[in-house]
Every structure is written in structure tokens, then in C-alpha cells.
Amino acid sequence: MSKLMTMREAIARYVPDGASVALGLALEPFIPFAAGHEIIRQRRRDLTLIGPISDILFDQLIGAGCVEKVEAAWVGNVSEGLGHCYRRAVEKGIPHPIVVEEHSNFSIGLALLAASLGAPYIPTRSLLGSSLPQQNPTFRQEQSPLDGTPLLLVPALKPDVAIIHVQRCDEDGNAHVWGSLGITEEAMLAAREVLIVAEEIVSREIILSDPNRVVGPSFKVRSVVHEPWGAHPSIVQGYYNRDHAAFHDYHVRTRSLEGFQSWLEEWVLNVPDRRVYSEKLGEEHLHSLGVKEHRYAASVDYGY
């Protein structure tokens, strides 16, 4: 049976209030902005956001009042610096206070890896010289049972849902993704349910022609959404480049609460879906973000 559905249907069915949602798992590329904007339009509340650097999608969801808790390595605007909505929430409780459990990029990957393995925790030493163990109450410092040296136990983190943007996918949820993956694979295996958002829907034969590029098992995928430009303004390798101007515009406009609300109304609340969003960006602007120099991988022989 086909798992294809609209973004509105997928979010309504699989991202309820109070869910823990893993997003932006490839760090700067493949950020599922279309999915995040639909979460905002459906006015989801009390979400826990899980991710590495997360970039401005976390900031937008926080500013829209969707978020109760953040478990991440960093929240902000990578090319511009600050995430103004995040700072207002943490420092002033606007639109309401949020709980923050801090990770490093490494430890958030370990937490998801532990869940994917069915392990209660993974030990590490990488954070022992930092202040992160004091910032995250879920970490536990113990002694190694082998040699008595200090260890930090990073507990497993199992998202209710992971939303993963990919280049192409078949209707059953077998997805190809290439480029920088970050902790995408760990999150897909850790999450209870997975939503795939794809630039293209292709046949199963195309997916089977390159099985090593499949990001994870399709039986975990609950829905597949065909959403071209669904990761804009972030990059999708081989499809479009990062829209630096959009990140700058967001940074400038959201310095004030009123500015954020104006941006939110213009680009999310008054834009019913990604088709209208793309039309608003305009064909000329979209063309300017297209791939300028194609670099194709060498063909691979899977024969035997």
C-alpha cells in the first residue's frame, strides 16, 4: 500500500501535542522547513524538539509557541548567530518558558544511537572536561567497572517521530539520501515513527538499483510526503543551494517580537502549503538557487 499523503495529513496524524520530534538531523542540509511550518499552522503545543545544531526551524517553532522542551546541541541561526525567539523564551519566558537539556553534537548522536541499539545508555569521556554534565541532569557520571576511571553515561533518547527530508523516495518509504547525513540514520533507527519528505517520488526499481544509499528500513516509515523545495532555505545536495539571504532576512526581522510575528504571518500562517510558498519565492529566485555545477558519482556495479 502506498504511504503517500499530503503534509497536512501527515502532521495531523503523526505529530500530536506533546510529541517528541527529531528534526534537522543532517545539521545544515535537509532541514524539513515545510514540515515545521505545517506543525506551526496546526498549532501543535508542548512539543519536545530533538536535534543537533537545529538552525532556525527550532527558533521558529519556539517563537510560535509550539515547544515545551529542547534537547539539542545548539539553537540559533548558523550563518547569522543568534536565534532571537530561543533567547526570548529562555531569558524572558516569551511566548512561554521552555526546558533546555543541553547536548554536544556528539552526545545527541550517542543518545539516539543508544535508542537505536535498544541500549539504556552509551558511555563516553568526551564531555568530562566541560560544563555540559552540570547543564543536563540526565547525564550520569560513574566509574568504569574495568579500570575505575571516570565515565559519563549518556541515556538513550527515543523520539516519538523523526521527520527526515531526502532527495528521493518510493511510495513505500524506501528513501535515497546523499551528502552530509549528520545523525539522520541514528535518528531514523531510534524513533518510534518516521515521516519522510521527498523532493522526488521514484519507482522502487530506482531505489533497488542503489541499495547502499537507502537511509533506513521502510517498515519504520509511516508516511511519505512529496514536497519539492520542502527544505528551503536549507540546502538539498544536487537539487538546490542554501538561500543565505533568507537566513539573513529572518535574523534581521525577528530581533523584535513584533518583527517575528510579522515574518510568521507572511511566510507561514498566511501560506497554506509549500506550493504557495514556492510561488511566493518566485521562479527567478528559485532558479538562482539551482545547482550550478553538476558532479555525478561514478556508476557502481552490483553484479555477481
User: What are the tens digits of pLDDT across the range 150-202?
Assistant: 999 999 999 999 999 999 999 999 999 999 999 999 999 999 999 999 999 99
Hey, what amino acid is at 54?
Answer: S
Average model confidence (pLDDT) across the chain? 96
Hey, what amino acid is at 175?
Answer: A
Instruction: Give the start-to-end residue ranges of the domains of the chain.
Output: 7-103+158-288
Which architecture does CATH list for 7-103+158-288? 3-Layer(aba) Sandwich (3.40)
53 pLDDT more than 90: no
Task: Note the pLDDT of residue 7.
Answer: 98
pTM of the model: 0.96
81 pLDDT more than 90: no
For the chain, give the percent of residues with pLDDT over 70.
Answer: 100
Cell digits for 242?
Answer: 542554501
